[in-house]
Amino acid sequence: MNNPNSVVYIVDDDTSVRDSISNLLESVGLRAKTFGSTEEFLTAPRTEAPSCLVLDVMLPGMRGLEFQEMLRKSGASIPIIFITAHGDIPMTSKAMKAGAIEFLAKPFPKEDLLAAIHRGLQLDETMRTQNAELTSLQGRFEQLSPREREVMDLVVTGIINKQIAGQLGISEVTVKIHRRQVMEKMNAESLADLVRMSDKLKNQILK
């Protein structure tokens, strides 16, 4: 079930197509915002709610695939469903490899479009949730002192306090204090929980 605040953006230079898709979405309880070009879409305010983009391929000005690439390079993340009356296999392949949810040839069954939109909205909601969790995790990590970060790095490898003390040149009692502070500040309920947090932070750095 999609978030009731979700928004579907529709970019197509054909007014009848925009109106038809908008009416379809409203009939199933989804909000739609329509635009005649990618330029119009870029200048419009974006919602913080889950969203996806129904994008025509053959547009005046910047075309759909070019726009997809521009969004990717800018770091903007929104699931895209392409629609077109002039598609071919290379075009479809390029769009899908770049992360498109679906590539639909006009005229397309409304059920196919709705299914793709629901997938796109669910994907965006999941990504937003994960990003929020990662932001919170990074905020907690930044509260650690340099020494606490060193202790955390060693704790998640599974070595015991005595070994950590030897590597850092501090007492075992001090290690235990830092370890407790790390667990509290990171809001970790167990060592396994702390390991998962460490992995998430390292994976983000590697991106």
pLDDT in tens, 40-76: 999 998 888 999 999 999 888 888 889 999 998 888 8
CA distances from 152 to 177, 194, 203 (A): 12, 8, 16
pLDDT classification of 206: cutoffs 50, 70, 90? low
Is the preceding peptide bond at 50 cis, omega within 30 degrees of 0?
no
Do the beta carbons of residue 101 and residue 120 sit within 8 Å? yes
CA atoms within 13 A on the CB side of 110: 10
Q: What is the pLDDT of residue 16?
A: 95
DSSP three-state, residue 82:
strand
Q: What is the pLDDT of residue 52?
A: 96
pLDDT digits (tens, 9 = 90+) for 134-184: 999 999 999 999 999 999 999 999 999 999 999 999 999 999 999 999 999
Rounded (10°) angle between helices 172-186 and 161-168: 110
Q: What is the pLDDT of residue 101?
A: 93
pLDDT digits (tens, 9 = 90+) for 76-116: 889 999 999 877 778 888 888 888 999 999 889 999 999 99
How far, in Å, CA of 151 to CA of 166, rounded? Answer: 12
How far, in Å, CA of 117 to CA of 29, rounded? Answer: 13
Specify the higher pLDDT residue, 206 or 59.
Answer: 59
Average pLDDT in the 5-31 region?
A: 95
CA atoms within 13 A on the CB side of 201: 18
What is the pLDDT of the chain when averaged over all its residues? 91
Task: Tell me the whole-structure pTM to 2 decimals.
Answer: 0.78
Res 1 pLDDT > 60: no
